[in-house]
Amino acid sequence: MNFETISENRSFGGTQGVYRHKSEATGTDMTFAVYLPPAARYGKVPVLWYLSGLTCTHENAMTKAGAQEWASEYGIALIFPDTSPRGEGVANDEAYDLGQGAGFYVDATQEPWAPHFKMWHYVTHELPELVFTNFPLDRDAQGITGHSMGGHGALTIAMTLPERYKSVSAFSPIAHPSESDWGRKQLTAYLGNDKSAWAKHDATLLMRDKGYPGEILIDQGAADQFLELLKPEALAHAMAERRQPGEFRMQQGYDHSYFFVQTFMAEHVRWHAERLG
């Protein structure tokens, strides 16, 4: 559970830290960021996990999402993991949407990805143990959100582990990867050709099968340049068919960028704060 402090900066009365540790899950060094609000000086605080999208690291949302201001106001810690293992000897691909920066929050079973690409285990087991051991965080008050590939990860993780994540939201999630080029390629590479192994990593299929016991908030830009790859209509239909409580909002004029994420971040942090107490 040892880790190295890379940086710590004052932010909205709290502390934005960046840290590195040796991961047993991935067999590599992994970097992650934690924002602690001022309230963390007085006791344990609720936790909001933020999972980033394709090509991102821990840094993208940390610097672009504008979440610290609202996390400070509502007394919530933020955790920003990386999106994949990295480094010498880690498999990669020339395409931006496979390999390093594109872990898809799955545990790979296929070569050459299997030795290092264990992002499901890393995000749901190893990193939580590290942060709850070393930071003043309330293990019983966890929410999860994310953008694009990270929205896919947040939804699939929350629906699989609903007893752990008391709140869930997403920005422009990859909603039906089994039927998208942002999904079929990666799930085949990481998990093989057996589509039954893909189902627990597809938010639309999970929604049809089990849903989520609480409310879900999803924001999707109506002018998103990747709508054909994200397939939000599939998840929206699955939510309607299941009578899933929550909101699926198409935001007129917004694209896939962090300008979109930043615009609605305050509402998402407030959404989680209300459900995490």
Query: Annotated catalytic sites, by residue?
Result: 148, 224, 256
**Spatial distance between the Cα atoms of 185 and 183, rounded to a whole number of angstroms:** 5
Tokens of 16: 């934005």
User: From CA 84, how far away is CA 51, in angstroms rounded?
Assistant: 11
How far apart are alpha carbons 182 and 216 in whole angstroms?
22
> How far is 34 from 10, CA to CA, in rounded Å?
12
- Under 8 Å between Cβ of 81 and 126: no
Angle, helices 67-74 vs 258-276, to 10°: value is 10
Q: Tokens 């939201």 identify what position?
A: 169
By three-state DSSP, how is residue 242 classified?
Answer: helix
Q: Which of 141, 162, 246, 148 minimizes the C-alpha distance to 206? A: 162
Q: Considering only CA atoms, which of 69, 68, 85, 105 is closest in space to residue 31?
A: 85
d(CA 143, CA 140): 10
Find the helix or strand (DSSP H, E) in which 227 lies: helix 227-230
Q: How many CB atoms lie under 10 A from the CB of residue 177?
A: 28
Which whole-number Å values give the CA distances from 28 to 20, 51, 89, 132, in the listed order?
Answer: 10, 19, 9, 21
46, 35 contact by CB (below 8 A):
no
